Structure 1
């Protein structure tokens, strides 16, 4: 008996897999993109897909000839479709990120929902692995933008499906200014902005930088010189913030240089304006500082006057802009205690989400530990701290990036701001009354407003005003707690975002 004959009958999956693209046993040719051919079996294809059943057995042209054409599906994607139809198998070895969008689109066309889910999970795993290898500033790397650009070529930029949602989730965690203009197409940018405009998901790019990136992306379709001119006329947000302290938003270049840049900009202004009009409905000008709107954006004459007036009227009524970043801060993802940045008598449990003071330790004074995530962007950041076991006052708050002595009570130090279970707030050894005393089981939500550099606390569901004497916090902060034995404190994201109205919070 031949070796191949021995194998048959042992595994239905292997026997059916043997039929895939086997010309000897096929009765139909499937002609894919670029006229590539893959061979199949009518009965199996029709039995496994309603779409193919209608095409092959319902009197259509394809039911009377021995070939069927799918000019928008390439050979590799069709091979994945056939393997799944024949064997119900999906091996990650048979797919790569390069063809994942093609495969997902094909699975969507043939209404194979389970296969779509498997491909989405593959992409999710691949992006996570890439994320772990990337530098912190490249959280989405270039993979997610490239995938979204491919996806909008196959699907509408306004499409609402699990693949696009997943990719947008990853891009949202990446500052737009770190994404190369050739990696994220203009259509993909439209898709990203349209689906995050009213989001309650994490987003990290300020709205001014969203506008700036959009204008430069439009200029990218004109010339490198156009990009260079826009970069001069619309400086990055960090440079603007520096000049904001001096109330001078035009300090980046002298008047003569600015006039020269503006004169060159006029050559391609109308072209950029036309392209920009596609995505303007998905840029929220109310989130951009009014001085930036007046000094930097309005002179470019890229925006319809009614759109600018709406933003001015809103800010005139509210006396301020909305938070500078759409959505919610990225900060709450994977929030844990830092196993290195802690006092010598503190121990971590439950995947670093719980900290305890070692009851057998020699040190009986308060010690500190900070979280693993730094806070350094505009917006409102909120996290939850549960005092599972109190001690001689447990303390909750924030500290700076450097300068903290982890073995000395945080409230005595100039680089920390903490609320204690005594009900008092302490900073630089100066205390003030804030709330009533609280004990074990108390849930505290910290509300850190990095736009206004202020902090407030909710204690057991009751939100209190910002601490009046802490009105100019630093630009980079970490969550921190201070405790001694038998203290036990749990850290995590706010469990229920629904009761928090981020965009309209006034505190």
Structure 2
């Protein structure tokens, strides 16, 4: 066992929250008392320096209180102040927000930057982003308010914007978190995944759930999901029950309605579904109708740069002759006999129009090598490796990208079970890939992609690739 003096970092860790070596008690929000050394704390934080050596009562007492900082966050702050290190394994969705708030209070920008980078890696590197990002944003807004402006709120807002709200359970994103999301993205040019009608529907039902389950039920019936909006709807409930809660919902919505752009909702949906609800002020509806009448159109249905998540199938009519389709055309397989070299297959939908289009592909069984990417509407030879052709752009399990027989290194080699997300930006005409949840930059060699493209795969025996 090494004695004291062998490591400065280890010796300083012995001082953290140690009542023997400390001359200051720190009382936190949850009334837990921690211990610190005045000199070290003051030397590491200007805020603490002013608090502890300003000649006021705090500088004369051996106790200081922080009624808005929890002990779990203060322990991490102390570790950083003493050692310049952070134990990230101790983080949870709750205490990381508290720690960031405490780092902001003590004006520790280096620690704030480290926390933002940690959260970014967590959101980019796992499959729980759809739950984690809304939860963290809700916690951040609860702790720092919906109007707070900092890099963490910005990061969380960007990630929640990439999730279609109709897939987020009510309660996973708080009403205050939703308000933060909508206010910070109202005029955004960044990617956004949710059509404005769905934003409106999600917001109204979220507000109704604050009143009662019955209230949310009444509004769910009156606001059909976008996929069912053309179906006929009947309301068998007592209209008087609806009227009892309508004014309450209107009041709850008043703070968030300015951040919902009704001009992006089809005029017939406004007139037939939204206006009869009686929860939108008449002047707001009139302004929307005037805009649409004057412009003879609605705005684009999604704010910012539209983000489209596609559920695709392989096209049985556009494939190499030896490729076999399974599982309702979601799987393409290259049989172990009867084929030499790579054959290609195209998906069943063409991509055109501005926005970001994303789809998922799984390499269920790789080969030498399995490739995924995009191709043009015409010109693809289905019996020749796609990467050799001028009309295709593909990433292979070798980790290389190929177009027109020119290869470039992109990621490390990957194998069976790898999940790939293709990010095709038809506004900027660029493409990027995520591998097992980790997103990589745009492929720098591929610029000015064509305006009409199809998802494509290229494989040889014994390859098997799932789409969607």
Question: Does TM, scored on the shorter chain, surpass 0.5?
Answer: yes
2:97–2:140 contact (8 Å) kept in structure 1? yes
1:227 aligns with 2:230: no
Secondary structure of the residue aligned to 2:258 is helix
What's the CA shift for 1:446? 5.3
1:281 matches 2:258: yes
In the TM superposition, what is the alpha-carbon distance from 1:310 to its structure 2 partner?
Answer: 1.6
- After TM superposition, the score normalised by the length of structure 2 is 0.70
Q: Determine which of 13, 32, 38 is the counterpart of 1:36.
A: 32
What are the equivalent positions in structure 2 for 1:126-275 lying under 5 Å apart? 126-131=122-127, 134=128, 140-240=129-229, 242-243=230-231, 251-253=232-234, 257=235, 260=237, 262-275=239-252
Alpha-carbon distance between aligned partners in 2 of 1:103 and 1:81, rounded to the nearest angstrom: 7
**Equivalence for 1:434:** none
Q: Distance in 1 between matches of 2:250 and 2:157?
A: 25
- Alpha carbons of structure 1 residues 221 and 47: separation in structure 2 relative to 1, 3 Å: same
CA distance in 2: counterparts of 1:146 and 1:382, whole angstroms: 25
SS of aligned partner of 1:193: helix
**Unaligned stretches of 5+ residues in structure 1:** 135-139, 244-250, 334-340, 347-361, 384-393, 399-403, 411-419, 422-438, 449-459, 467-476, 483-507
Q: In structure 2, how many angstroms separate the alpha carbons of the residues matched to 1:262 and 1:408?
A: 64
Relative to structure 1, is the Cα distance of residues 462 and 236 closer, same or farther in structure 2, using a 3 angstrom cutoff? Answer: closer
Deviation at 1:376, TM superposition (A): 9.3
SS in 2 for 1:141: helix
2:204 & 2:238 partners in 1: Cα distance?
15
Give 1:31-180 correspondences, 5 Å limit.
31-131=27-127, 134=128, 140-180=129-169
Moved over 6 A (4+): 373-379, 460-464
> TM-score of the superposition, structure 1-length normalised?
0.65
Per-residue deviation, 1:328: 1.2
Q: Greater relative contact order (Cα 8 A, min sep 6): structure 1 or 2?
A: 2
Aligned pairs for 1:265-414 within 5 A: 265-330=242-307, 368=344, 370=346, 380-381=355-356, 396-397=376-377, 406-407=382-383
Asked whether the 8 Å contact 1:325–1:379 carries over to 2, the reply is no
How far did residue 211 of structure 1 move?
Answer: 0.5
Instruction: Output the CA distance in 2 between the equivalents of 1:207 and 1:319.
Output: 18
| Deviations 1:342-387 (CA, angstroms, capped at 9, x unpaired) | 75999xxxxxxxxxxxxxxx999x974558x98899974579xxxx
The 8 Å contact of residues 175 and 207 in structure 2, kept in 1 or not, is answered as: yes
Gaps of 5+ in 2: 311-317, 324-338, 359-373, 392-403, 407-423, 429-446, 459-468
1:261 and 1:379 mapped to 2: Cα distance? 45
| Displacement after TM superposition at 1:50 (Å) | 0.5
1:421-446 Cα deviation digits (max 9, x unpaired): 8xxxxxxxxxxxxxxxxx999xx995
Deviation at 1:332, TM superposition (A): 10
- Does the aligned pair in 1 maintain the 2:376–2:454 contact within 8 Å? no
Equivalent-residue separation in structure 2 for 1:18 and 1:78 (angstroms):
16
Give secondary structure in 2 for the equivalent of 1:97. coil
Q: CA offset at residue 293 of structure 1?
A: 0.4
Deviation at 1:397, TM superposition (A): 3.5
2:25·2:36 contact (CA, 8 Å) conserved in 1?
yes
Give the Å deviation of 1:115. 0.6
- Which secondary structure state, in structure 2, belongs to the residue aligned with residue 181 of structure 1? coil
CA RMSD in angstroms comes to 4.0
Measured after TM superposition, the shift of residue 8 of structure 1 is 1.1
Q: Shift of the alpha carbon at 1:94?
A: 3.1
Decide whether the 8 Å contact of 1:97 with 1:123 is kept in 2.
Answer: no
